[in-house]
Structure 1
Amino acid sequence: MIHSYASSDDAAVAIAGARAGADVIRNMYGQRLSRIDKGAGDFATAADVEAEEAILGVIRAARPGDAVLGEESGQQGAANAVRQWLVDPLCGTLNYAVGNMLVAVNVALRDGAAAVADPFSGEVFFTDRETAWVRHDGVDDALLRPTPSTRLVDVNLDPPFPSAPGFRAVDLLACPEFVERFRPRVVSTTLALAWVAAGKRAAYVTDGGDLSGSVHFAAGIALCRAAGCVVTGIDGVPIDEAGRGLVVAADEETHGLLMSMMHSLPDD
């Protein structure tokens, strides 16, 4: 089934922006790229900057009155604007810089449409906030259908660890019940959220503060919610109600099992 979107459709803007960024990321892959130091071991590359410029160009042309928060360029327009786009042009910069293709391009309208592009598979995962689909190489949209059948759970181990010692994701990997029930994977890109929505992963776990307004997580969270996943913080509280971190599961049973395991972890 192929969906056609009117020019006024925010989902079309999100898709076009994500694809524009993905084109840059794919075309610059393998080049020797300059790095921009952000401190604490974090950095951006020229690909991050150019991809964000391409995405912002799409948004400005289609929605000139909207505010934008970009990972690299910061806030443009009023931070409390009714309509604000959240842009992460390259989620997985360290992966990309060392030649690993596990990266994502995230474009989301706060509390609205969103798209996550995989520059190397040709997939664009997107939502109009009500339903979620995946588009392969520009055609053949398919509904996203989460399922726990893979038993694969991605755990993000990137610092900082604000909930330690009460919760440390690395402790979950050593939990006997966890490794008996699930197959852990460690990934450092929010592409993993799209995989949960698409049924490629059973769940995803990461620590952190309120991630609902994060440029890194907003698009993936929107996808998962629209696809029918269970989305909470690590304490089981909805992430837009002061929840910490993020637990996204394909279904209630998987979410319940993860929460039980996390609550049973030793508190050093």
Structure 2
Amino acid sequence: MSRADAELAIQAARAGAEVVRSHHGRSVDRFAKAGGDFATSADIEAEQAILGVLRSARPDDAMVAEESGRSGSDGSGRVWLVDPLCGTLNFAVHTTLVSVNVALRVDAEVAAAAAVDPFAQEVFWTDGTAARVRCGGVDQHLLPSAASGLVDVNLDPPFPNERVFRAARLLTDEGFVERFRPRVVSTTLALAWVAAGRRAAYVTDGRLRDNVHFAAGIALSEAAGCVVTGIDGRPWRSGLGGLVAAADADTHAGLLALIARQREPA
């Protein structure tokens, strides 16, 4: 069912992306959330559109959505993870660096995922075995490459590992400056770009297991053949957490070495 599930993820994410596009350039209502975060009317309406598609096709599956939380049955082992608008702050100030993310976790693994760029109208997707980008109805395999030297770094809180790692400190390390050039997209669309060879790597802190923001992007990176671990080099679901997703092993090792310096005595 993974290919059918992948097509459903694409359909659902596209439904959300259509809503996001329809709100672009318009004033959107803001709804306060914890920690100074907020959602907009675009987030909420996009999520409703996505869930409508998923519930119609898979009524027995569970859903975990950013704005409405968990719904549906837990009995099947199938859980859809929905981030209706990744990059809400960007969107609220009319910046088009956003994505719509839908992923299906079956038991412990993500079996299908789609991340849609609503404005470039690119669909990055995986059926759990390969990663592709669909544009204009044509699919192409994603091919990671570190040639650009560009590394996206997530500077947004929370920082659960700040005692041993802060992204801002990574950017001031001379070893980083000598080898890489930083970018800050502020959306997990950057993970899709690592899978597509448009970024050399992506680095973030955080607890990412079953995280609706990251599930689709991580699945894309892994299916494309990227090297993906936590910031301590262990599996990202365990250890310190966080994420280093790199186009190749050399880039990954270089970033882990730079991160490890932060744990060394001054």
Q: Residue type matched to 1:21 in 2?
A: G
- How many angstroms apart in 2 are the aligned matches of 1:235 and 1:133? 28
Taking only aligned residues, the RMSD between alpha carbons, in angstroms, comes to 1.6
- How many angstroms apart in 2 are the aligned matches of 1:7 and 1:82? 14
| Corresponding residue of 1:27 | 22
- How many angstroms apart in 1 are the aligned matches of 2:202 and 2:153? 6
| Corresponding residue of 1:13 | 8
Kept after mapping to 2: 8 A contact 1:232/1:243: no
31-40 or 192-201, larger mean C-alpha shift: 31-40
TM-score, length-scaled by structure 1: 0.94
1:37-186 → structure 2 map (5 Å cutoff)? 37-78=32-73, 81-110=76-105, 111-137=110-136, 139-186=137-184
Query: Cα offset for 1:158?
Result: 0.2
- How many angstroms apart in 1 are the aligned matches of 2:205 and 2:12? 28
Structure 1 stretches lacking a partner, 5+ long: 1-5
Kept after mapping to 2: 8 A contact 1:196/1:250: yes
Query: Alpha-carbon deviations, 1:182-227, whole Å to 9, x = none?
Result: 1111121000000000000000000012x13100000000000100
Structure 2 stretches lacking a partner, 5+ long: none
| Corresponding residue of 1:193 | 191
Query: Cα offset for 1:240?
Result: 2.2
Distance verdict in 2 for CA 1:245–1:8, change over 3 Å: closer
- How many angstroms apart in 2 are the aligned matches of 1:80 and 1:157? 37
SS of the aligned residue for 2:111 comes to coil
128-137 or 241-250, larger mean C-alpha shift: 241-250
Q: Find out whether 1:225 has 2:222 as its counterpart.
A: yes
TM-score, length-scaled by structure 2: 0.95
Query: Cα offset for 1:165?
Result: 2.4
- How many angstroms apart in 2 are the aligned matches of 1:81 and 1:152? 41
- How many angstroms apart in 2 are the aligned matches of 1:58 and 1:21? 10
- How many angstroms apart in 1 are the aligned matches of 2:75 and 2:168? 36
Query: Cα offset for 1:164?
Result: 1.1
Query: Cα offset for 1:241?
Result: 2.9
Paired positions, count = 261
| Corresponding residue of 1:3 | none
1:228-243 → structure 2 map (5 Å cutoff)? 228-243=225-240
Query: Alpha-carbon deviations, 1:135-194, whole Å to 9, x = none?
Result: 013x11000000000100000000111111211100000011101101111121000000
Query: Cα offset for 1:243?
Result: 4.3
SS of the aligned residue for 2:168 comes to helix
- How many angstroms apart in 2 are the aligned matches of 1:240 and 1:134? 26
Q: Residue type matched to 2:99 in 1?
A: A
Kept after mapping to 1: 8 A contact 2:122/2:134: yes
Q: Residue type matched to 1:197 in 2?
A: A
Query: Cα offset for 1:34?
Result: 0.7
Kept after mapping to 2: 8 A contact 1:18/1:115: yes
Distance verdict in 2 for CA 1:150–1:27, change over 3 Å: same
Kept after mapping to 1: 8 A contact 2:2/2:127: no
Query: Cα offset for 1:81?
Result: 4.7
- How many angstroms apart in 1 are the aligned matches of 2:186 and 2:99? 10
Kept after mapping to 2: 8 A contact 1:157/1:186: yes
SS of the aligned residue for 1:220 comes to helix
Q: Find out whether 1:250 has 2:247 as its counterpart.
A: yes
Q: Find out whether 1:214 has 2:203 as its counterpart.
A: no
